[in-house]
A and B are shown apart, each in its own frame.
Chain A
Amino acid sequence: MSKTSMSQRDVVVTGIGLVSCAGEGIAAHLEAFTAASPKAVDIERFAPYPVHPAPALVLDGQIPKKSDQRQMEAWQRLGVYAAGLALESAGVKQDTAFKAAMHLVVACGGGERDTAVDGAILTGLRDAADPGAYLNEHLQNDLRPTLFLAQLSNLLAGNIAIVHGVTGASRTFMGEEASGVDALRNAQSRIASGQIDTMLVGGSYSAERPDVLVVHEMGGYLHKGDFLPVFERAEDGEAGFILGSAAAFLMLEAAETAVARGAKTFARLLPVESDRPRREPGSVGRSLSALWDRAGAKPDAVISGATGVRAITAEEGAALAELAPGVPVTALGDLSGHSLEVTAPFGAALGAALISEGRAREIAVTTVGHRRGEGVVRLSALS
């Protein structure tokens, strides 16, 4: 699609909130980036599937009310926590009026289950004389009414509004990896075009759910057994992703308004490129190259959201070797696992942190969805 010819404003990152197995906050993740290996892999709890677990969080720090903590499930708590970190890092956590006017774009899934209830119902259904009536009776009696609020995708945004008072308005994008890229793309373009000045954008994912492991085992997308680096899962039986619990939020702002309020700026976020050509051999490499060119990427470091799903990860590796020869590529999957919707926001937040530390001038974040959708997110130093 043609890009707008309107004059575009610069968009900057002024707040970062990160949570993953590497810990919480910017410093922990810069450290993880240097180590380039995951801080935690749990291979026991959901065997044969390893997961990168969420770190221990003192929730009260970002979600002061116990009643709020109880009304959420893990993926929402992670997200609300990371959103709080981003607001804090942007220096607006205490600014009620600023937050009340701020808009949100969230990329996430949803659908949290009560696995004990599900198991008991499935067991009972096996011998039920009237399975329909049995299912109705047990769903009605055994489901916690508030579980619904942990299943609705838009209730991460809803909880951020309730807990942090970010109540401009929110939109929730769904759709695995691509939704994270498109949340950034949409937020960046709304700010760049002058439709809005400030946005909080991000997402969260809980990997520690046996039900999501079922969904991704269907199709054979999960790596089993010990950790292996993403780009080295080349043999039969090694390919696939290790899911990671993670959340990432960025505060994006028009450069001019950020300067006006004296905000610390981490990096510039350039227009985000994404597409979804039909998948066929070679399509991922071609799509990434096209997006790379459109973005005008000239990075000195690449953060790859590669899944480890074999053919597409190999294509991405080959494409990057050609597009950015000699440029170091760090796989997010080797830091924090694969977190679907969170991949692009996480990569962008980490990239912005690296740039602000002077560890890179320009970073490209690549996202290749395990089923569909490619994206290139480009961040650069301010001058």
Chain B
Amino acid sequence: MTGLGIVTSLGQGQADNWAALTAGKSGIHTIARFPTEGLRTRIAGTVDFLDTDPLVAPALSQRFAEEAAEEAIAQSGIGTKGDFPGALFIAVPPVEMEWPQRQAMAQASGQSGDITYSDLQRAASSRAFDAWHDLFIFATVADNIADRFGTKGSPISLSTACSSGATAIQLGVEAIRRGETKAALCIGTDGSVNPESLIRFSLLSALSTQNDPPEGASKPFSKNRDGFVMGEGAAALVLEDAESARARGAKILGYVLGCGEKGDGFHRTRSSPDGAPGIAAIRAALDDAGTAPDSIDTINAHGTSTPENDKMEALGCAAVFGDRIRTLPISSNKSMIGHTLTAAGAIEAVISLLTIAHGRIPPTINYAVPDPALSLDVVTTARDARVSRVLSNSFGFGGQNTCLVLGDEPA
């Protein structure tokens, strides 16, 4: 890896994010973007300092991705402006038409009785809404990023739910290993905090309802954790074939040593009770890195703050690391930035690399009431440590488990 870029509710860029993360600052706040009246959850880690018109998830996701990619490519010094010499792999939230647009079309239809999709179709056929076609199809974000940065070939837009960001990195690693490309721009982005997205998670009882104070709601590994908090942001990583990065004199920030994944067919939103798929994903990442559990210095946890995830993750880590899990520092960035969903795996990979670079592990805030059932060394204030290798976990709905091993030196 030769370039990193990051946007979260804590700020834009590596410097601001790192300062806030190590200070234990929270980016979670009361939602101001839309009315929250009547909602059980009224907080999120929205990114409010970047804006789009119209303010819809794909446009916002694109904006975050552009900012992150700009930073990553500038740091790597690869290619020339608008001419990135490699492929694009981008994790984007699934795209859908949103309520303000539906409402505008309903109004334009002139229908004064019950509104149906026929009315929206009629409004669409007026040609007044043609510009929204591209806004609401799936490939547009990737296409615009490819145009702006000049990536090569057909870009891949992907989803593996909450492990999407890690999968984007994995796809880049595999393409480089196959020799298809010398470089890859891997991005995870998510700007989908809007009423319906929030309510969908709320209806699945996945979200914390501890609205006050907002910054206290995300409590990974705590006994009183009650769900995750939605977050927004993006991260971009420039991956290069190590040899060609060295040949062009690039500064290498770290290595993706291993990627592992394993599916789970147990349930649509819950993981196998024995934790086997999560365990298999961690082991697969270690195997791919050609390393043993002992070489891992810290775990960047998925740590969503849901009762289920944190229990299963602790169980999985204990199975792989044995007794050492009690003294192996583990931390969840989601305590401060919330769960950035599609972007999470990429954002947490960037934070893992910053952890290695600075020799400092960011804390898990709000760990006031430890869950006694989880025997973990949760980092509660920024901890200085020599960190050579990080395991970064990502788990998602639909049985998605993806883990990365990141390191300061090649395997």
Within 8 A of B (CB), among A173-205: 173-176, 178-179, 181-182, 185-186, 189-190, 193, 195
A151, chain B: closest CB distance, angstroms:
7
Residues of chain A within 8 A (CB-CB) of B105 are 214
Q: Write the chain A residue with the least CB distance to B177.
A: A195
B9 is an interface residue with CB less than 8 A from chain A: no
Task: A207 to B360: give the CA distance in the assembly, Å.
Answer: 52
Residues of chain B within 8 A (CB-CB) of A59 are none
| Contact flag A166-B147 (CB < 8 Å), given A154-B160, A217-B124 | no
Q: Are A181 and B195 in contact (CB under 8 A)?
A: no
Residues of chain B within 8 A (CB-CB) of A358 are none
Q: Are A162 and B38 in contact (CB under 8 A)?
A: no
Partner of B137 from the list A130, A151, A154, A176 (CB cut-off 8 Å) is: A176
Partner of B153 from the list A137, A140, A175, A275 (CB cut-off 8 Å) is: A275
Q: Are B94 and A136 in contact (CB under 8 A)?
A: no
Q: Are B265 and A172 in contact (CB under 8 A)?
A: no
B261 is an interface residue with CB less than 8 A from chain A: yes
Task: A133 to B42: give the CA distance in the assembly, Å.
Answer: 13
Q: Are A210 and B117 in contact (CB under 8 A)?
A: yes
A282 is an interface residue with CB less than 8 A from chain B: no
| Contact flag A133-B171 (CB < 8 Å), given A166-B265, A175-B142 | no
| Contact flag A179-B157 (CB < 8 Å), given A137-B38, A162-B267 | yes
**Binary B-proximity of A97-118 (CB < 8 A = 1, otherwise 0):** 0000001100001110001001
**Binary B-proximity of A119-155 (CB < 8 A = 1, otherwise 0):** 1101101100011110111011001010111011111
B248 is an interface residue with CB less than 8 A from chain A: no
Q: Write the chain B residue with the least CB distance to A155.
A: B398
| Contact flag A373-B139 (CB < 8 Å), given A126-B115, A136-B37 | yes
A244, chain B: closest CB distance, angstroms:
17
B125 is an interface residue with CB less than 8 A from chain A: yes
Task: A101 to B107: give the CA distance in the assembly, Å.
Answer: 51
Residues of chain A within 8 A (CB-CB) of B36 are 136
Q: Are B264 and A133 in contact (CB under 8 A)?
A: no
Q: Write the chain A residue with the least CB distance to B92.
A: A174
Task: A116 to B204: give the CA distance in the assembly, Å.
Answer: 21
B330, chain A: closest CB distance, angstroms:
23
Q: Are A216 and B133 in contact (CB under 8 A)?
A: yes
Q: Determine, out of A3-11, A247-255, A256-264, A329-337, the stretch whose residues face the partner at the interface.
A: A3-11
A170 is an interface residue with CB less than 8 A from chain B: yes
Partner of A153 from the list B94, B134, B174 (CB cut-off 8 Å) is: B94
A218 is an interface residue with CB less than 8 A from chain B: yes
Q: Write the chain A residue with the least CB distance to B398.
A: A158
Within 8 A of B (CB), among A324-372: 369, 371-372
Partner of B124 from the list A1, A152, A218, A373 (CB cut-off 8 Å) is: A218
Q: Determine, out of B21-29, B96-104, B290-298, B380-388, the stretch whose residues face the partner at the interface.
A: B96-104
Within 8 A of A (CB), among B21-59: 34-40
Task: A115 to B117: give the CA distance in the assembly, Å.
Answer: 7
Q: Write the chain B residue with the least CB distance to A224.
A: B125
A286, chain B: closest CB distance, angstroms:
15
**Binary A-proximity of B150-191 (CB < 8 A = 1, otherwise 0):** 001111111111000001000100100111110000000000
Q: Are B158 and A214 in contact (CB under 8 A)?
A: no
Task: A276 to B133: give the CA distance in the assembly, Å.
Answer: 18
Partner of A168 from the list B138, B181, B262 (CB cut-off 8 Å) is: B262
Within 8 A of B (CB), among A252-294: 274-276, 278
Q: Write the chain A residue with the least CB distance to B201.
A: A148
Q: Are B157 and A167 in contact (CB under 8 A)?
A: no
Partner of A149 from the list B94, B121, B269 (CB cut-off 8 Å) is: B269
Residues of chain B within 8 A (CB-CB) of A166 are 263, 265
**Binary B-proximity of A37-54 (CB < 8 A = 1, otherwise 0):** 000000000000100000
B106 is an interface residue with CB less than 8 A from chain A: yes
Q: Are A217 and B156 in contact (CB under 8 A)?
A: no
Interface residues of B, count at CB 8 A:
90
Q: Are B158 and A172 in contact (CB under 8 A)?
A: yes
Task: A190 to B203: give the CA distance in the assembly, Å.
Answer: 38
Task: A190 to B180: give the CA distance in the assembly, Å.
Answer: 11
Q: Are A153 and B181 in contact (CB under 8 A)?
A: no
Q: Are B137 and A122 in contact (CB under 8 A)?
A: no
A124, chain B: closest CB distance, angstroms:
9
Partner of A167 from the list B158, B179, B396, B399 (CB cut-off 8 Å) is: B399
Within 8 A of B (CB), among A22-65: 49
A227, chain B: closest CB distance, angstroms:
19
A300 is an interface residue with CB less than 8 A from chain B: no
Most buried by A among B115, B127, B281: B115
Q: Are B263 and A181 in contact (CB under 8 A)?
A: no
Most buried by B among A123, A137, A215: A215
Within 8 A of A (CB), among B319-368: none
Q: Are A186 and B156 in contact (CB under 8 A)?
A: yes
Q: Are B268 and A5 in contact (CB under 8 A)?
A: no
Q: Are A111 and B202 in contact (CB under 8 A)?
A: no
A157 is an interface residue with CB less than 8 A from chain B: yes
Residues of chain B within 8 A (CB-CB) of A4 are 178-180
A88 is an interface residue with CB less than 8 A from chain B: no
Partner of B87 from the list A1, A125, A157 (CB cut-off 8 Å) is: A1
Q: Are B156 and A122 in contact (CB under 8 A)?
A: no
Task: A174 to B261: give the CA distance in the assembly, Å.
Answer: 19
Q: Are B200 and A167 in contact (CB under 8 A)?
A: no
**Binary A-proximity of B233-251 (CB < 8 A = 1, otherwise 0):** 0000000000000000000
Q: Are B396 and A154 in contact (CB under 8 A)?
A: yes
**Binary A-proximity of B190-211 (CB < 8 A = 1, otherwise 0):** 0000011001111110000000
Task: A275 to B154: give the CA distance in the assembly, Å.
Answer: 5
Q: Are B37 and A132 in contact (CB under 8 A)?
A: yes
Residues of chain B within 8 A (CB-CB) of A167 are 262-265, 277, 399
Residues of chain B within 8 A (CB-CB) of A148 are 200-201, 203-204
Q: Are B396 and A149 in contact (CB under 8 A)?
A: no
Q: Write the chain A residue with the least CB distance to B206.
A: A148
* 18 contacts across the A-B interface (CB closer than 8 A): A1-B152, A1-B181, A3-B180, A118-B102, A122-B115, A123-B115, A132-B34, A136-B36, A136-B199, A143-B196, A153-B94, A158-B268, A161-B264, A174-B157, A181-B154, A182-B154, A274-B154, A275-B154
Q: Which residues of B contact A (CB under 8 A)?
A: 34-40, 86-87, 92, 94-97, 99, 102-103, 105-107, 113-118, 120-121, 124-125, 127, 129-134, 136-140, 142-143, 146-147, 152-161, 167, 171, 174, 177-181, 195-196, 199-204, 261-269, 277, 281, 396-402
6 nearest CB pairs, A to B: A158-B398, A132-B35, A175-B139, A219-B133, A210-B117, A4-B179
Additional A-B contact list (19), CB under 8 Å, known A151-B200, A154-B160, A170-B399: A1-B153, A119-B117, A130-B37, A133-B35, A147-B200, A149-B268, A155-B397, A157-B398, A162-B267, A169-B261, A169-B262, A173-B158, A174-B95, A182-B156, A185-B154, A214-B97, A215-B136, A218-B136, A372-B139
